[in-house]
């Protein structure tokens, strides 16, 4: 239960910190943090939690990461469902706290998307479903590649959280205009359940694409990282 509780609070922090920065601070009048600030916020949530709970649960915070690590031979199948449930529950709890905070401002309106992920008319840059699919698959694939490489026993010890946090920052810098960046089904679900409507209708993509990408990344690393 300690591992599952750690995943709950770790994912809670990721969604509150990352999506919270997007909802509360990204477009703040005149001094908003913008795409760069939101990208850093997501990276910092993973970086801080990796040091805080990495030794307890591995700090997955993401169903696609858990599934990818399973595909890469790093995680037991019997723990997949409890991890995913913990991650999604933490994400929804964070979405609820964020909603309570954000709704305290006059004029708050969920029609802005509430940091939900989307494609087509709900993509920040108007990107198509195909563009969103390719982007999410490739970004999650590279994320898993970095995670597996940075946590390999042959990698320099103690630096994995830095590599993983910076990788997530870079992923957001690339893909926020395309999908608002998911690479994490729990993160997408945590805010979509409050945004409702189109966010729920498009949520399937942000489960399917990251999971495919996570598995691909694990398969690639198993090939290139295999000892001779």
What are the extents of the domains in the chain?
2-224
pLDDT at 226: 74
Around 152, how many Cα atoms within 13 Å sit in the side-chain half-sphere? 16
Dihedral angle, C-alpha 48, 50, 51, 57, nearest 10 °: 140
pLDDT at 157: 82
Distance CA 62, CA 60 (A): 5
Of 48, 34, 62, 37, the residue nearest 165 (C-alpha): 48
Residues of the chain predicted below pLDDT 70: 227-228
- Residues 192 and 203: beta-carbon distance below 8 Å: yes
CATH class (in words) of the domain with range 2-224: mainly alpha
pLDDT at 31: 78
Return phi, psi of residue 198, to 5°: -60, -35
pLDDT, one tens digit per residue, over 102-126 is 999 988 889 888 999 999 999 999 9
Distance CA 176, CA 123 (A): 9
Dihedral angle, C-alpha 106, 198, 90, 215, nearest 10 °: -150
Distance CA 157, CA 126 (A): 41
């Amino acid at each position: 239960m300690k591992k599952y509780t750690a995943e709950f609070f770790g994912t809670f922090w990721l969604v509150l910190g990352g999506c919270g920065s997007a909802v509360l601070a990204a477009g703040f009048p005149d001094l908003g943090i913008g795409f760069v600030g939101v990208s850093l916020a997501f990276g910092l949530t993973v970086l801080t939690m990796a040091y805080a709970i990495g030794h307890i649960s591995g700090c997955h915070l993401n169903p696609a990461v858990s599934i990818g690590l399973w595909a890469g031979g790093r995680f037991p199948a019997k723990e997949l469902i409890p991890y995913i449930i913990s991650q999604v529950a933490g994400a929804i709890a964070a979405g609820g706290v964020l909603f309570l905070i954000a709704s305290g401002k006059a004029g708050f309106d969920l029609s802005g998307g509430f940091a939900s992920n989307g494609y087509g008319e709900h993509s920040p840059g108007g990107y198509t479903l195909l563009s969103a699919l390719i982007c999410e698959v490739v970004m999650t694939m590279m994320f898993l590649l970095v995670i597996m490489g940075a946590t390999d026993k042959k990698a320099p010890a103690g630096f994995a959280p830095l590599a993983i946090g910076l990788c997530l920052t870079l992923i957001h810098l690339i893909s926020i205009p395309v999908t608002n960046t998911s690479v994490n089904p729990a993160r997408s679900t945590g805010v979509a359940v409050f945004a409702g409507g189109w966010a729920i209708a498009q949520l399937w993509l942000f489960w399917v694409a990251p999971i495919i990408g996570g598995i691909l990344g694990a398969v690639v690393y198993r090939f290139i990282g295999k000892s001779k």
